[in-house]
């Protein structure tokens, strides 16, 4: 089926959508009138409900404007070269340029349009550029990516083809506004039919937009851009997980893009990303509902495309920004790194974070020594004496973590003590390594692995004397102790929220039940809320309303909720057991006490389980039953 025909068919389905809405509802009303009597009235009422539900959703989708993208605006005055590039690309793509360019934090580039009337009426255009792309792509590759996005609205795409993009988004938002049930089933079925046709047109448009990439950057840059974008998401996530979190832990503001760029060009990461591309090529699923062709198919089409003259530019993509040395840190601070503290180099951040991590481990072991009765101060000399006595299990018991043996726990924490002693005496530091975890180095630059000292002694008490001699040679005094930071040791006064059971019924009274790690908080629920939920359910919006209500409820915080009128706190220490049961299709939550009458909450049609309330309570009941 030709791409233009697919696009035309999808638009026909889109224009028919309002008539489907009226037809379904009006058909139900007409059928009820034909049947007559009480059954007919029920059918007519159901048809009217469907008409109201679909009508509300349609009107909402037609009248809703997308919120403006949030993030720093890259204006023509501040970024003239970037705007010239984008406007040149728009001309090549045969479309009008965006009205606004916004920098976003995701690994993505996109064009949005504030269209109305199911996308038939054009509006203000926004170009979104992901901050990570500025470090992960070259100028030529970024040009290719932006040309591809702009190419969705030009270069072989008719106006009707562009409507399929906006129409799919409108229908998706309409379906998303409804809860499960017959109303959603009707609309979802029509949306799936539309998507089946529209996605086929979308895939053809993706291949056409790829032709714009080749025309503006050449086959090599276009192919490299596709490969890079397919792996930049996992790379950005790995960078944030391993390195960006260190800035938060140390209250320092890093050079994010410089760090990400250094991370990407490290040989270890380049090898990993190369393997990741091959995995994507080998394992990428294909479906009739995919909006994009497979990466392999797109690369093959690019390889066979006719290449036009182009200027290759291997500079980092941030070179398109004016004065990137000052502009990039400012944009980072406005977008992501807000209020982290003074700016610091990645080298300093790693040294600060590494030292803090080692101090924390050393403090845990010092506390474990005292808590287990193996010493009075937690000094390293007391740890060595406990190892001589074979007290590894006793040392590990207060600080065990899942998946590690007692020997591994004690060895790693003792290594932290050694490293902390060396750092505080100026004889060691943590060194930045973009290829993996940080490394500990001695003052002369040699790599130092403390677990090679501590591991053998923990595993074999006959080697403890050798550990003592090595510690003496390193200058670690037996009396060295690093107490646990008071902030780490202090217990949080506010219990952790596990989850929420909303809209339970206790007797005849509606209740919300908040499940905390140390107790249960029962809150009264207004019957007016139940009435509103019932009306919202008629138009398919009860779950959405309830999610917003619970979010506002939990934002109030534990202290304010406990002081609410009618609130009742139940400590888990008072609970002797409980269960979930069903009687005559009605579910119940039963809570038993060592003293006093049990509580029996009915699980109503409106009850929702947010978070891990159900799983947490069930695990608690099972643990009580096992005692």
Indicate the average pLDDT of the chain. 80
Q: Looking at residue 495, what DSSP letter applies?
A: P
β-strand 125-130 against 100-104: which pairing, if any? parallel
CA of residue 440 relative to chain centroid, distance: 32
> How confident is the model over 499-522, as a mean pLDDT?
89
Q: Round to whole Å and give the CA distance between 186 and 188.
A: 6
pLDDT, tens digit (0-9, with 9 covering 90-100), for 418-458: 999 999 999 999 999 998 879 999 999 999 999 999 999 99
- Residue 545's contacts (CB-CB under 8 Å, 6 or more residues apart) are 532, 533, 536
Helix (H) or strand (E) holding 609: strand 599-611
- Residue 537's contacts (CB-CB under 8 Å, 6 or more residues apart) are 179
Do 621 and 577 touch, CB atoms closer than 8 A? yes
Q: Round to whole Å and give the CA distance between 558 and 516.
A: 9
pLDDT, tens digit (0-9, with 9 covering 90-100), for 178-213: 555 565 666 677 777 776 766 666 677 777 777 778
Do 266 and 434 touch, CB atoms closer than 8 A? yes
Q: Looking at residue 115, what DSSP letter applies?
A: -
Do 434 and 263 touch, CB atoms closer than 8 A? yes
Domains of the chain: 346-488 (no CATH), 497-626 (2.30.29)
> How confident is the model over 538-549, as a mean pLDDT?
62
What values do phi and psi take at 434, rounded to 5? -70, -10
Q: Is the pLDDT of residue 253 over 90?
A: no
As beta bridge partners, residue 127 has 101, 111
Between 456 and 217, the higher pLDDT residue: 456
Q: 595: left (phi > 0), else alpha (psi -120 to 50), else beta?
A: beta
| pLDDT score, position 490 | 44
- Residue 253's contacts (CB-CB under 8 Å, 6 or more residues apart) are 247, 333, 337, 340, 341, 342, 343, 344
- Six token digits for residue 482: 């690093």
Q: 458: left (phi > 0), else alpha (psi -120 to 50), else beta?
A: alpha
Between 336 and 426, the higher pLDDT residue: 426
Q: Round to whole Å and give the CA distance between 421 and 355.
A: 10
Q: Is the pLDDT of residue 57 over 80?
A: no
| pLDDT score, position 471 | 94
- Six token digits for residue 371: 């808590």
| pLDDT score, position 198 | 66
- Six token digits for residue 254: 């890093």
Cβ density class 113-124: b for 16+ within 10 Å, e for less? bbbbebbeebee
- Expressed in angstroms, the distance from the first to the final Cα of the chain is 67
Strand order across the 509-516 sheet = 568-571, 519-524, 509-516, 497-506, 599-611, 586-593, 575-583
Tell me the torsion sign for CA atoms 457, 477, 361, 351: negative
Q: Round to whole Å and give the CA distance between 437 and 418.
A: 18
Q: Round to whole Å and give the CA distance between 558 and 352.
A: 34
Between 415 and 596, the higher pLDDT residue: 415
Q: Round to whole Å and give the CA distance between 196 and 213.
A: 26
């Amino acid at each position: 089926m030709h791409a233009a025909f697919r696009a035309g068919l999808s638009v026909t389905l889109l224009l028919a959508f309002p008539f489907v809405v009226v037809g379904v509802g009006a058909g139900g009303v007409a059928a009820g009138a034909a049947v007559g009597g009480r059954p007919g009235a029920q059918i007519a009422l159901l048809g009217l409900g469907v008409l109201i539900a679909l009508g509300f959703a349609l009107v909402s989708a037609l009248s809703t404007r997308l919120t403006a993208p949030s993030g720093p605006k890259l204006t023509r005055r501040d970024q003239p070269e970037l705007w010239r590039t984008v406007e040149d690309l728009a001309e090549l793509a045969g479309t009008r340029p965006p009205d606004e360019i916004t920098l976003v934090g995701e690994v993505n580039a996109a064009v949005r349009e504030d269209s109305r009337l199911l996308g038939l009426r054009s509006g203000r255009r926004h170009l979104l550029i992901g901050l990570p792309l500025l470090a992960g792509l070259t100028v030529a590759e970024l040009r290719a990516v932006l040309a591809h996005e702009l190419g969705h609205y030009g270069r072989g795409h008719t106006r009707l083809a562009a409507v399929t993009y906006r129409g799919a988004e409108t229908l998706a938002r309409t379906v998303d506004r409804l809860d499960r049930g017959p109303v959603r089933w009707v609309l979802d079925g029509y949306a799936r039919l539309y998507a089946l046709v529209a996605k086929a047109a979308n895939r053809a448009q993706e291949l056409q937009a790829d032709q714009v990439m080749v025309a503006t950057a050449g086959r090599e840059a276009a192919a490299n851009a596709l490969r890079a974008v397919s792996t930049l998401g996992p790379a950005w996530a790995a960078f944030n997980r391993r390195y960006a979190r260190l800035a938060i832990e140390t209250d320092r503001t890093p050079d994010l893009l410089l760090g990400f760029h250094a991370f990407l060009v490290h040989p270890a990461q380049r090898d990993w990303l190369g393997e990741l591309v091959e995995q994507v090529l080998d394992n990428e699923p294909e479906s009739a509902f995919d909006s994009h062709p497979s990466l392999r198919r797109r690369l093959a089409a690019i390889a066979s495309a006719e290449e036009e003259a182009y200027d290759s530019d291997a500079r980092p993509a941030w070179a398109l920004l004016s004065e990137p040395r000052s502009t990039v840190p400012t944009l980072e601070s406005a977008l992501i790194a807000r209020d982290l503290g003074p700016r610091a180099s990645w080298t300093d951040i790693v040294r600060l974070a590494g030292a803090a991590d080692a101090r924390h481990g050393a403090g845990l072991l010092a506390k474990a020594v005292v808590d287990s009765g193996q010493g009075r101060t937690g000094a390293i000399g007391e740890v060595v004496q406990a190892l001589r006595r074979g007290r590894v299990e006793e040392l590990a018991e207060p600080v065990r973590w899942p998946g590690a043996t007692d020997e591994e726990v004690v060895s790693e924490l003792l290594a932290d003590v050694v490293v902390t002693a060396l750092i505080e005496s100026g004889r060691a530091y943590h060194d930045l390594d973009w290829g993996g975890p940080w490394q500990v180095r001695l003052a002369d630059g040699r790599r130092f692995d403390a677990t090679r000292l501590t591991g053998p002694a923990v595993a074999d008490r006959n080697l403890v004397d050798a550990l003592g001699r090595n510690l003496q040679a390193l200058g670690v005094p037996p009396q060295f102790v690093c107490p646990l930071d008071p902030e780490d040791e202090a217990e949080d006064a506010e219990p952790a929220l596990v989850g929420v059971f909303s809209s339970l019924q206790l007797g005849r009274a509606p209740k919300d039940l908040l499940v905390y790690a140390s107790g249960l908080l029962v809150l009264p629920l207004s019957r007016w809320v139940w009435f509103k939920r019932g009306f919202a359910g008629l138009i398919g919006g009860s779950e959405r309303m309830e999610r917003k209500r619970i979010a506002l409820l939990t934002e109030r915080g534990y202290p304010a909720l406990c002081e609410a009128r009618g609130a009742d706190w139940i400590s888990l220490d008072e609970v002797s057991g409980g269960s979930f049961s069903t009687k005559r299709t009605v579910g119940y939550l039963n809570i038993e006490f060592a003293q006093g009458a049990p509580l029996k909450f009915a699980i109503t049609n409106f009850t929702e389980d947010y978070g891990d309330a159900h799983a947490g309570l069930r695990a608690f009941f099972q643990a009580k039953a096992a005692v």
